[in-house]
Every structure is written in structure tokens, then in C-alpha cells.
Amino acid sequence: MSPAGETLAALLARPRYEVIPLAGVAAAVLAHVPPEVKVTVTASPSKGLEPTLDLAEELAAAGYAVVPHLSARLVSDEPHLRAILARLERAGIEEAFVVAGDATRPAGQFEGAADLLRAMARYGHGLREVGITGYPESHPLIDDETTIQAMFEKAEYATYIVSQICFDPRTTAQWIENVWARGTHLPIHVGIPGIVHTAKLLRISARIGLGDSVRFLRKQGSRFGRLLVPGAYSPDGLLRELAPALADLEGKVAGLHVFTFNELEATERWRRERLGQIVPSSAS
């Protein structure tokens, strides 16, 4: 097997699946997601952190390694934060993913992820792993210098980075190199879409500011994914182009963070099929 094939097989063997805490998602995880896949649970600015924590507790009780997203702007104050952390400890949850969150106004004293991370450190959170976000492309609302500075501020309190979706593999690879060259030596989980309907992915991509990435994909046609064709998008082309670069970034890339958009059955079926295609080739 080539180094790129070995890298891809290793990344697909133990990915992270991001889910949205909506009705029916717990049953979908139990039905379709094997326990070796870590599940991360997003937080909604309109619904608060309760649905996130409820789902995280339910999945943890079922034996999954679970990572709740803690949105700083949804945490009202330090007593609220301490209650959240105590709740995670009782559930046996050892990891959290800290984001600023999309709420227009903070619920309390925490404006962004760095503020919450500092408070967590003061309290002594006891978590084994803490993740933070990274943006291979420009953030839709924050200039590049600010995102770079924010990375430095957050990295002190974190153990890994999760990248936002980027459809340009060269941009992703160069960004990983730049993050490490600037002195932020944290392993990176590369964000990719799962198997999702093209209309949904286009809609979400526009909402989260992936305009440059989508324009790149339109120019490339089907080389990196069939985003403009009716039906479901597949990340096969994107992964195929990413694999050689990721093989060269050994030690910097920790894994794949799959944005499933709750399309768990299709995404898990795709993952198993790709693994089945890659692994037997090593024995031939």
C-alpha cells in the first residue's frame, strides 16, 4: 500500500463524527455508528447547551466516547461553567470542544472561546482533551490577523485543533504547515463533509462562510466532489487529493473530523465501503 493509502486507511479507521442534537439523532447513532467512532455534539445558539449536554450524557451512557461542544457565548458565568464541568465528570466525559458560538450576544461574561478556556483552566476542569477551532480559509466575520492571534491565545489551553471544512486540499495542507510554522504545535483533525445532499451542503456552506471554497469547487468540476450534481455529495475526490499531503504531514494531522449533518447511515456506509476497498489492496 502506498503511504497515501496507508494514511487514508488510518484516518478512516477512527474518525470523529459531528452530530446535531435534534430529535432522533441518538437512535441514529446507536443504529449506525460503531463504538470506535468518537461522536461530537454541536450546540445551538437558539436552544442553548442543554440539548448538547443531554445528548452527550445519553451517548456516553451507551458506551460512546463523546465530545460536547461548549459554546462560550452560551455560558452565563463561572458557576454555570462549574455546573457544566461537574455534569461532564459525572457522565464520565473526558473531552470537550470549545468554540465561541454563533449567538449574536453572549449570555454572560464570556465573549469568546479564549475567555472560556481561561476560566476552565482557573477552575481546573479535569478534562483529558480540549479542542479548539481552526480556519483554513478566511473566517466570514473575523479578519485573518484576528483569527491567528486567537489561535495563539487558545492554543495554550488546548490539546488539538479541528479545522473548518475546506474544499481546496492545497489550501488545507498549506494552512496546517502555517499553523505549525507559527509555533502552534497541536495535532489537527481535518474537517470534511460526510455523505450529504448537495442542496443541504450548499446551503450550509453559504451560511458558514465557505464562499471561496465553493467557488473553487465549481471551477474544478467533479475532481474534488460532485457538489453541483443532484443527489448526495461524496468526499472521495477531496480525500483522494488530500491523502498525499496528509501523508507528508505526519505528526501534525491527528485524524478526520466528519461533519455528518446527521446523515449517519449514509456516511457510515460510505466509510465502511472505502475502508473495504483500501485495506484488501494491501494484501494483493
Cα gap 281→276, rounded to integer Å: 9
Q: What is the pLDDT of residues 175-206, one digit of tens each?
A: 999 999 999 999 999 999 999 887 777 777 66
Cα gap 95→75, rounded to integer Å: 17
Strand ranges for 89-233 from DSSP E: 95-99, 129-134, 160-163, 188-193, 196-197, 232-233
Give me the residue spans of the domains in the chain: 3-283
What's the predicted TM-score (pTM) here?
A: 0.89
Would you mind telling me the total number of residues written for the chain in this entry?
A: 284
What does the block give as the cell for 95? 473531552
Residue recorded with cell 451542503:
201
Cα gap 255→249, rounded to integer Å: 11
Cα gap 170→199, rounded to integer Å: 25
The mean pLDDT of the chain is: 87
CA distances from 124 to 49, 66, 82, 117 (A): 20, 20, 9, 10
Residue type, 198: T
Q: Which CATH architecture has domain 3-283?
A: Alpha-Beta Barrel (3.20)
Q: What is the pLDDT of residues 106-145, one digit of tens each?
A: 989 999 999 999 999 999 999 999 999 998 986 555 656 6
What does the block give as the cell for 106? 453572549
